[in-house]
Amino acid sequence: MVPDTLTNHADSYPHLAHNNGRLNRPMAHVMIQLVKVCKEYSVGKTVQALRGLDMSVEHGERVAVMGPSGSGKSTLLNLLCGLDEPTSGIIKVDGVELSSLGDDDRTRARRVKIGMIFQTFNLLPTLTAVENVSLPLRLQGSARCEAEERACAMLNRVGLNHREVHRPDELSGGERQRVAIARALVFRPPLLLADEPTGNLDSVTGDEILNLLDDLYREFKSTLLLVTHNELAAARCDRILTLHDGQFVKEERLAHTAAKSL
Ligand code: ADP
């Protein structure tokens, strides 16, 4: 069994309680917590992809991570979704340290806690839209009928009820991304990780996808971490963090957020 929420050990990491200058925030509000996270790759020589990252993202925040190629964005995403482990440091998602879990529990935790949206959609080409969206539910043990009912409801929510039995190659880029978003949200995960979700779309379709993500983020009361080169996409977020050579070098809190909280 995966505990839904493990205790947050605020006493062990007192500097996190001071995060972003907001003193004494209850640690239970933290959705993503990184403490001195390092990731090294050994390929003949050692590459330090992440160099002691500290980061805290609260429930309900939208955070964009930007940075040049090679700065460590993909490495960070891989660690956050539990596909890889840090060389040192601690990563917690919704209070759970994924690397402390066994393989089965980690897979299950990843499935139910984290919805992933990719630049290249990552749909299975031989499956229809409804089969792609219901796949995570089927892998988690849901009966086909129930899984497909939930998948249809999600496809309906993203505006694709007329495309349920189409395969990815019968869909436009924007429609494929809508299927991928429906799949990412089918468990109503508390955390959405989006990797350049508009990178393969024209600007009008990209805008529609960002509008949809905005709506769903609010409706599902999720937390969104968006990796992007797109400044307009990043500007929709509450904060922008800039990575450079495996370290955060800049944090920008956006004015629309400040205005909202007045
Ligand atoms: P970004 O996503 O910002 O382009 P990456 O996280 O892919 O950056 O890469 C960060 C650094 O880690 C780069 O120097 C890259 O070459 C290196 N790196 C990434 N993945 C691997 C890997 N599997 N093996 C060796 N080096 C890697």
CATH number at residue 223: 3.40.50.300
Write the DSSP string, 119-142.
TT----TTS-HHHHHHHHHHHTT-
Q: What pTM was computed for the model?
A: 0.86
Closest CA to 132 of 107, 108, 158: 158
2 domain-assigned: no
Question: What's the rounded Cα separation, in Å, for the pair 122 and 10?
Answer: 37
Please state the domain count of the chain: 1
Amino acid (1-letter code) at residue 144 = R
90 domain-assigned: yes
pLDDT single digits (tens) 2-54: 333 333 333 333 333 334 434 344 454 899 999 999 999 998 899 999 999 99
8 domain-assigned: no
| CB-based contacts of 103, cutoff 8 Å, min separation 6 | none
What is the distance in A from the centroid of ligand 1 to the CA of 68? Answer: 11
Nearest CA to ligand 1 atom 27: 41
23 domain-assigned: yes
pLDDT of residue 257: 56
Residue-number span of the structural domain to which 226 is assigned: 14-261
206 domain-assigned: yes
1 domain-assigned: no
Tokens matching residue 53: 């990252």
Average pLDDT for the chain: 87
Would you say the CB of residue 75 lies under 6 angstroms from ligand 1?
yes
